[in-house]
Amino acid sequence: QVQLVESGGGLVQPGGSLRLSCAASDFTLDLVAMSWFRQAPGKEREGVACISGVDANTYYADSVKGRFTISRDNAKNTVYLQMNSLKPEDTAVYYCATDRTGSSRCNYNDMDYWGKGTLVTVSS
d(CA 58, CA 53): 10
Model pLDDT for residues 34-67, shown as the tens digit of each residue = 999 999 999 999 999 999 998 999 999 999 999 9
Distance of CA 79 to the CA centre of its chain: 7
Give me the amino acid identity at 71: S
DSSP letter assigned to residue 71: E
In this predicted structure, the answer to whether residue 1 has a pLDDT above a threshold of 80 is no
Q: Which pLDDT value is given to residue 25?
A: 86
